[in-house]
Amino acid sequence: MSDQPQPPYKRILLKLSGEALRAPGSRDNISPEIVARIAREIAEAQQKGDLQIAIVVGGGNIWRGAKASVRGMDRPTADYVGMLATVMNALSICSAVQEAGVPAHVQSAIEMKNVAEPYVRNKARHQLRSGEVVVFAAGTGNPFFSTDTAAALRACEINAEVVMKATSVDGVYTADPKTDPTATRFDAISYEECISRNLKVMDQTAFTLCKDNAKPIMVFDMHQPGNITRALLGEKIGTIIG
């Protein structure tokens, strides 16, 4: 029997930034090397920690519906295009996780049976209990909702114990560290303080879902190699909100 400490969270919703799937300076929307690294880190954590890992991935590397609507496209149509972008990213992540040796599935909120399984809550929970990774695609299936909101919603539906938001920053700061050199990072912060300080961790709908359903949020930098594995296995990196 291993004396390795058990990770604090068993069932995890991992939210991946779509933009992070693109290599810096590259014209390609999806970097196979970055996707493969992310998948290896997810597989390593799943195998070491006997975890149940569900994933929601954004689509910002391919499309941003809000920006398109500002430029004149009908907002629901722009959002549906964004949902399709998340399906492309989800298929890439799923394939790479399978290549890393872990069974994985894509469940889509918009039915496309030749491409992905339809989202079925109980089926997703069964797959997670079986040690299979589930990648949720197409957001909530409805326009006007972000992929952060989709992540919060799916976390509540599958009874995930935590939402881990893997982004381009290493946590939550008192101010934007890119523009304010005096900004300092929180190791931990309450939901209430995030609200009172007007810290933009997620959009308000997503944040409220997590707060009202007592889902802690971990924010960490996914660009640092090994960080996804460390976060999933419970190492204290980034900022924990709860």
Q: Which of 6-15, 59-68, 131-140, 226-235 has the lowest mean pLDDT?
A: 59-68
Q: Is the pLDDT of residue 1 over 70?
A: no
Query: Do residues 66 and 78 make contact, with C-beta atoms less than 8 angstroms apart?
Result: yes
Q: At what angle do helices 75-99 and 32-49 cross, to 10 degrees?
A: 60
User: Considering the entire predicted model, what is its pTM?
Assistant: 0.93
First CA to last CA across the chain, in angstroms?
Answer: 33
As given in the structure block, the two tokens for residue 35 are 């996707």
Q: Is the pLDDT of residue 5 over 70?
A: no
Q: Which pLDDT tens digit goes with each residue over 26-63?
A: 889 999 999 999 999 999 999 999 999 999 999 999 98
Sign of the Cα torsion 234, 236, 33, 150 reads positive
Can you spell out the DSSP letters for 124-190?
Answer: HHHHHHTT-EEEEESTTSSTT--HHHHHHHHHHHTT-SEEEEEESSSSEESS-TTT-TT--EESEE-
Q: How far is it, in rounded angstroms, from Cα 10 to Cα 45?
A: 11
Domains of the chain: 11-241 (3.40.1160.10)
Q: Which pLDDT tens digit goes with each residue over 72-92?
A: 789 999 999 999 999 999 999
Q: Which of 5-9, 187-191, 219-223 has the lowest mean pLDDT?
A: 5-9
Give the pLDDT band (50/70/90) at residue 66. Answer: low
Q: How far is it, in rounded angstroms, from Cα 179 to Cα 136?
A: 34
Instruction: Please give the angle made by the CA atoms of 156, 77 and 59, to the nearest 5 degrees.
Output: 50
**Mean pLDDT for the chain overall:** 93
